[in-house]
Amino acid sequence: MTSAATNDAHSVPPPPPAEITYSGQYSVNPLGEVTFRKLCAQLPSVLRRIAKMSWAIDRRAVLLLLACQLITGVAAAVQLTATAKAMSPILGDDAVADRLYAALPALLVVAGASALARGSGAVSTYAERRITPRLTTATDTALVEAVCRVEAAAYAVDGFADRQEAAEMGVIRTHVMVTDAQRFMSALVRMVTASGVLSVLNPLMLPLLLLAVLPAGVGAVLTARVDYEIHYANVADRNVRGMMRWWSTTPKYGDEVRANGMTDYLLYWNRALSERVDKRTLAAAPRTLRIALLSSLVGGGLLLATWAVLAWLAVTGRIALAIAATAVLAVQTTLAALSQVVINGAAVFHTSLYLSDMQAFLDDAGERAPQRGELTVGAPVDEIRLDEVTYTYPGKDKPAVDDVSLTLRRGEILAIVGVNGSGKSTLTRLITGIYLADKGHVTWNGKDLAHVDPATVWNCIGLVPQIFAQWPLRVRENVTLGQPRSLDDAQVWEAVDAVGMREAVEDLPAALDTLLAREVFGGAELSGGQWQRLACSRALYRRPQLLILDEPTSQMDPRGEHGIFERIRTIAPDRITIVVTHRLENTRTADHIVVMEQGRITEQGVYEDLVHAGGTFAELLALSQDR
Ligand SMILES: Nc1ncnc2c1ncn2[C@@H]1O[C@H](COP(=O)(O)OP(=O)(O)OP(=O)(O)O)[C@@H](O)[C@H]1O
């Protein structure tokens, strides 16, 4: 390419990343219409929920936490009352030594109560640390399990991935949830006891103090509301950025990224998405500043009024000096506790929003888990029938599989061929019960898959999908999928031999024990064709009743391909075998071939008949030989 051409290509700026918005049925920001009062009213139920979750994890730690809160409250009340007692002699007219001596018992009580409060603080931190890690693990596991167990069709539902991303935030927030709740509760207890003491000293002080702190409370909750609004607006972009980050940085696609010169573009993408996220976040900064300034201004003015009233009461002799001094302390304590209540209350509330997202996702995922029925299937699987089966992907107008009827019998090899997008893979998903038909029935041994426990169906299947996982596990687990059939490795080697991989596996640093993850220390990497052979050995190891191979040899050398088809023929009598392939020569092995076009079966028969039928099969075969 000439340099002019290169410059030309570079003078066209790349298009910005597509604008994606958080979609689906949860696309309405739940905070949009909520008032401050409603938010405060939600706190008890949020705390109850956190307590319930913690209770399920560690009852003793929860009880310990509650006991500590009680002790904190009692200690705060004792401290203030004893301080008031100590103030009278200290502010008296006797000699200093006599005044201190008289105040000593009360001062000792203050010291004891303070030590008790510190001790209970330390114990409550210990209890909280007993709960948090396990709570985080429990929620994380619940989320992973929920996603793994949904009907596969859920992945195609609008907004499912975005809601999953939003739910991930709930898991992250469980790290701080118990700490926030515990701090909130302990500050609340301290505040209630201190303000109780204060109102005993002078009933006028408490309402004034509450008024002084109220603006800070409103400000903190309003800020939380803005933060969540921004989080909500950024969910989709963060989701896409996370995915793109993985694709850009994983070594698996490193060759493609480098050799195709994609690095600059990918960095541009990452930057553009981050800038978009930042733009939204920065746009909110003036709003949060306004909220903070206004709430501080109003709160500060009211606090000034509180101090003025206290001074007026003392100066006019309406309260004794000792009481006024204790009131100053009580106001300080209440104020400190109140701001903690406000800060931690807002944090708890903020967390609750993410928890609600997580719970909504878990509930939704739970509803999307297969609920098909109690029927079971097992070996031997003699017949699989499809009767007028139709399936349309969510959001699509045209069916991917349209009115297909087919019968598969034990011992037969079926080949499915057709152009890209004709519905071959979708058909195999319907046969395996990964998707359920919208119309028509798929039956195994006469049992409709719509009513069969899918786990029993999947126990009978060995599947080599078109795009298969390269698990970062040892070779052994890559073959057994972590479900060994025996204690020794004999059957693993048998499956490895079946795909001609013995030599390659023996050459690895630790043979079957070699970790197949290049990124991890000590890990090894296989070639594309070797990975594909391993995927085949995985399916063969299961000795399935239904063996499905979707383009199983696309990356293999002719020797490997020949070996696999030999093997398929040898083991075919004990099972039903389906091969999806574009290499039409490979369909010679099949007892029956179906040709798919636009979701329908348009031709079927054996190889020799189809070659001479003058239809799509003959045309595709001729094209594949025209080089
Ligand atoms: N997860 C999905 N969500 C929505 N549409 C899908 C999904 N998977 C496939 N489709 C659509 O369904 C149709 C059939 O796809 P399918 O993967 O079954 O074709 P195929 O015959 O296996 O193609 P290929 O030869 O390229 O593997 C296509 O139009 C495709 O766009």
Reduce the secondary structure of 572-624 to three states and give it as a string: HHHCEEEEECCCHHHHHHCCEEEEEECCEEEEEECHHHHHCCCCHHHHHHHHH
pTM of the model: 0.74
**Which strand (E) or helix (H) includes residue 135?**
helix 96-149
Which atom of ligand 1 is nearest the CA belonging to 398?
29
Which residues, including other chains, have CB under 8 Å from residue 335's CB and lie 6 or more apart? 209, 212, 213, 303
Confidence at 34, pLDDT banded by 50, 70, 90: low
Residue pair 166/22 in contact by the 8 Å Cβ criterion: yes
Is any atom of ligand 1 closer than 6 Å to the C-beta of 117? no
The helix/strand/coil state of 404 is strand
Pocket test for ligand 1, best of 155, 389, 425, 554 (most atoms within 8 A of CB): 425
Rounded average pLDDT over 315-322: 84
> Rounded to an integer, what distance in angstroms lies between the CA atom of residue 447 and that of residue 441?
9
Dihedral Cα 332, 334, 338, 340, nearest 10 deg: 70
Identify the residue whose tokens are 């204690």. 487
Tell me the backbone φ, ψ of residue 67, rounded to 5 degrees. -60, -40
Per-residue pLDDT tens for 203-218? 877 787 777 777 877 8
**Which strand (E) or helix (H) includes residue 107?**
helix 96-149
How much is the pLDDT for 485?
Answer: 83
Pocket test for ligand 1, best of 389, 422, 463, 464 (most atoms within 8 A of CB): 422
Identify the residue whose tokens are 């909280």. 128
Is any atom of ligand 1 closer than 6 Å to the C-beta of 554? no
Average per-residue pLDDT for the chain: 87
Q: Would you call the peptide bond into 380 cis, given omega within 30 degrees of 0 as the criterion?
A: yes
Is any atom of ligand 1 closer than 6 Å to the C-beta of 399? no
Burial 574-583 (b: 16+ CB within 10 A, else e): ebbbbbbbee
How much is the pLDDT for 214?
Answer: 79
Question: Residue 107 burial (CB < 10 Å; 0-12/13-18/19+)?
Answer: middle
pLDDT greater than 70 at residue 503: yes
Q: Taking each helix axis from N to C terminus, what angle separates 160-201 and 59-90, rounded to the nearest 10 degrees?
A: 30
Q: Which of 44-53, 103-112, 345-354, 372-381 has the lowest mean pLDDT?
A: 345-354
Confidence at 39, pLDDT banded by 50, 70, 90: low
Please report, for residues 147, 378, 593, the alpha-carbon distance to residue 539 in angstroms, rounded to integers and kept in the order given.
24, 17, 22
Separation of CA 424 and ligand 1 centre (Å)? 8
Is any atom of ligand 1 closer than 6 Å to the C-beta of 467? no
Separation of CA 435 and ligand 1 centre (Å)? 13
Classify the complex by whether its ipTM is higher than 0.95, answering yes or no.
yes
Confidence at 481, pLDDT banded by 50, 70, 90: confident
Is any atom of ligand 1 closer than 6 Å to the C-beta of 421? yes
Per-residue pLDDT tens for 274-294? 999 999 999 999 999 999 999
Is any atom of ligand 1 closer than 6 Å to the C-beta of 393? yes
> Rounded to an integer, what distance in angstroms lies between the CA atom of residue 615 and that of residue 619?
6
Separation of CA 423 and ligand 1 centre (Å)? 6
Tell me the backbone φ, ψ of residue 611, rounded to 5 degrees. -60, -35
Separation of CA 421 and ligand 1 centre (Å)? 5
How much is the pLDDT for 3?
Answer: 43
What residue owns the CA closest to ligand 1's atom 6? 393
- Look at 345 and 66; give whichever has higher pLDDT: 66
Rounded average pLDDT over 398-426: 96
The helix/strand/coil state of 485 is coil
**Which strand (E) or helix (H) includes residue 550?**
strand 546-550
* Alpha-carbon torsion (434, 440, 443, 447), positive or negative: positive
Separation of CA 211 and ligand 1 centre (Å)? 63
Which of 539, 571, 569 lies closest to 552 in space, CA to CA?
A: 539
Separation of CA 465 and ligand 1 centre (Å)? 13
Residue pair 556/531 in contact by the 8 Å Cβ criterion: no
Helices (H), 150-204: 160-201
Separation of CA 454 and ligand 1 centre (Å)? 22
Separation of CA 71 and ligand 1 centre (Å)? 64
Is any atom of ligand 1 closer than 6 Å to the C-beta of 422? yes
Pair of tokens at residue 20:
């994606």
How much is the pLDDT for 36?
Answer: 63
What residue owns the CA closest to ligand 1's atom 19? 421
* In the chain, % of residues over pLDDT 70: 95
